[in-house]
């Protein structure tokens, strides 16, 4: 005798919350949450994970929690690197500049006329 699997996800009596994703399995189903969310339990809503509070973000300067994830932010005179985690000097700030004995950079840029002391990581990333 052969029994075909019933897809519990297409029938309306599965116990997944509307914020959960129903995944059909052989003879059953399970409820999961989208990436960046955690389930509070069967039939419970998915809760956004705050990666910033859990310190799992890897941002060099600041972390901003958004629905389903996070974004890194940089101080006013820096820009986010292509890796989306590190802060770097923008091209207009990198030259012309003068490196001072203190390790700070003195920018002659009209856009960013200031002193700035990059971290070792910022020097390495640029």
Tens digit of pLDDT per residue, the chain (126 long)? 666 778 888 877 788 898 999 999 988 899 999 999 998 887 889 999 999 998 888 899 899 999 999 999 998 888 899 999 998 887 765 555 566 777 776 665 555 555 556 655 545 444
CA-based torsion, 28, 34, 36, 39: positive or negative: negative
- pLDDT of the residue at 125: 40
Q: Which residues are within 8 A (CB) of 21 and not within 5 positions of it... i.e. 6 or more apart? A: 31, 32, 33, 34
Q: What domains can you pick out in the chain, each with its CATH number?
A: 1-48 (2.10.25.10), 62-125 (no CATH)
Residue 73, pLDDT score = 94
- Are the beta carbons of 39 and 33 closer than 8 angstroms? yes
CA angle 56, 57, 60 (to 5 degrees): 125
pLDDT for res 76: 83
pLDDT computed for residue 52 by the predictor:
93
Q: What is the 3-state secondary structure (H, E, C) of 23-67?
A: EEECCEEEEECCCCEEECCCCCCEEECCCCCCCCCCCCCEEEEEC
pLDDT at position 109: 53
* Cα angle 124, 66, 52; round to 5: 55
CA–CA distances in Å: residue 59 to residues 32, 83, 105, 108: 27, 10, 23, 28
Which 8-state DSSP code applies to residue 102? T
């Amino acid at each position: 005798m052969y029994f075909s699997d019933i897809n519990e996800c297409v029938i309306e009596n599965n116990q997944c919350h509307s914020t959960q994703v129903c995944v059909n399995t052989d003879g059953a189903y399970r409820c999961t949450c989208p990436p960046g969310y955690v389930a509070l339990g069967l039939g419970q809503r998915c809760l956004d994970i705050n990666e910033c509070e859990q310190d799992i973000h890897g941002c060099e300067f600041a972390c901003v929690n958004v629905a389903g994830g996070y974004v890194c932010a940089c101080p006013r005179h820096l820009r986010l690197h292509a890796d989306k985690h590190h802060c770097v000097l923008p091209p207009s700030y990198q030259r012309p500049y003068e490196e001072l004995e203190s390790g700070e950079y003195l920018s002659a840029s009209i856009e960013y006329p200031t002193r700035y002391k990059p971290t070792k990581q910022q020097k390495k990333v640029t």
